[in-house]
Amino acid sequence: MVDVPGGRVHLVEQGTGPLVLLVHGFPELWHSWRHQLPAIAAAGHRAVAVDVRGYGRSSAPASAEEYRIGALVEDNVAVVRALGEETAVIVGHDWGSTIAADSALLRPDVFTAVGLFGVPYAPRGAIRPTDAFALMGGDEEFYAAYFQEPGRAEAEIEKDVRGWLAGFYATLSGDTRPVSGEGAAFFVPAGGRMGDRFVRARPTWLDDAELDFLAAEFERTGLTGALNRYRSMDRDWEDLAAWEGAPITQPSLFVAGALDASVAWLADAVEAFPVTLPGLVASRLIEGSGHWVQQERPDEVNRVLVSWLRALEGRTPSTPPRSPR
């Protein structure tokens, strides 16, 4: 546990050397990086995986106001400082990818390189997020809009945390995702629940012990802290007005599952990488993997991640970035 301005952050670390900060997404914990911690440590780095504010053993302020992106960036900066370091490489998955990207954008003095998993970098645009969500649903409701009202999603999820998590993980996994109606689970019919369209199968990467651990943590904490990240998106949009369209210029990495719906939905963001991520060193789609790429394909992801970290060690500011592929 380390102290930060907003409370305390729980982290798990392994290894010594240059700091690599790992930031998870929704609905996950530091645990989602369990396969990467030893690989990064073996490569000569200090691997640190945090529980993001609102998750696990980290502080969980009651107000959604406390989950705006600036506060999460400052949590990451405070973790780096608490560990006795001045700079770090930051890597994130899902919401953690957005948090990592904005950490690199807002604090380039601290975060010298950024790895993005599952969700590509998309600079702040002209449309308010909740306005965009309203346009996406049609007769149904986009899941991020469904998450906006305090207590509403909690009422669904917390009736059966283990079952809801299992269904959510399965629906986005490469080996259990729906073969038809792909993406339908992200739209909630009028009067329905998000979980009504979940796949009822178990991904090969998720065993009972791991699911039990995750469920127990979310049963203990509830889901409000995690969902408050969605409820701060309009605040982020307001706070990032000065960075509209801004690129991230540090060396970067993008990794995603080839079957991840986020890649399809955000294809324009990927196409824009030459402009938005001019320091992109490598971009890789992992065949057969869905959204949980570092858990579904840990060995392949570790090879890509460690190769990128080694490339950073020999990189100078004048070295031109490789083109994305």
Q: Which of 24, 45, 75, 94 is catalytic?
A: 94
Q: Say if CB 189 and CB 135 are below 8 A apart.
A: no
d(CA 198, CA 208): 18
Tell me which of 24, 45, 93, 291 is the catalytic residue: 291
Q: Is residue 48 packed enough to be buried (19+ CB in 10 Å), middle (13-18) or exposed (0-12)?
A: buried
Q: State the sign of the Cα–Cα–Cα–Cα dihedral 75, 107, 309, 288.
A: positive
* Distance between CA atoms of residues 198 and 215, nearest Å: 17
Distances (CA, A) of 273 to 22, 91, 105, 111: 22, 17, 15, 19
Q: Is the dihedral of CA 127, 132, 324, 109 positive or negative?
A: positive
How many angstroms separate the CA atoms of 287 and 174, rounded? 9
102 is catalytic: no
Residue 94 among the catalytic residues: yes
Residues recognised as catalytic: 94, 291
